[in-house]
Structure 1
Amino acid sequence: MIARTWRGWTTPTKADDYQHHYKTEVTDHLRQIPGFQGARLLRHTTGDEVMFTSITFFTNMTAVQAFAGPNPNQAVLEEPARQALTHWDDQVTHHEVTVDLRP
């Protein structure tokens, strides 16, 4: 399994906008990708900035490319995300999941 990680930042006033976009549009899109295995959105507030970390899980890099396109290291940001965030990582990282511990 592959974990795809990405980060984006925003203000506290726009954080709920991004979170809503992720919970609706992003998850709807991801669920249509063959090989999609789940996602987590982490939220961390420090002072006047909110950082989101997205971790999406795919069976393999072929499934990642079905989501991200031919350049899987490029971040995928739709217009609502660009409007809600102040800045973001242009590149993502991919990790091989070596331990998958669940309750």
Structure 2
Amino acid sequence: MVLHFLPVRPPARTAGGLDVPADGAAGGPRAGFVVGRAVGNSVVRHRVTRRLRAVVREELGRLPDTADLVVRARPEAATATSEQLRRDLSAGLDRVLGDRPPAPRTRS
């Protein structure tokens, strides 16, 4: 698994070309998944995506509210158990986040 981490979202562009601050629409960290054909057929890819989604959901609290995380599955993910995916994600987030404490969660 490969993680791509963006701690702060860039401002969004509107149709008129104006920048809208990302803070106002943060709403919490976001995660996206890339599971390509190399992982397997559509059934396998969807299974991997569901497992990754469940594992990432447990770890979202470690990310700042303005963060974006993209998880790219490698072919080995097709035969990995959920526990192996969980360990890999946790280790990857440890490397990406370093020894940052979890960001305070603010809800409006």
Same-fold status (TM-score > 0.5): no
More helix by share: 2
Radius of gyration: which is bigger? 2
Q: What TM-score do you get using the length of structure 1 for normalisation?
A: 0.30
Instruction: Pick 1 or 2: higher relative contact order, CA cutoff 8 A, min separation 6.
Output: 1
More strand by share: 1
Q: What TM-score do you get using the length of structure 2 for normalisation?
A: 0.29
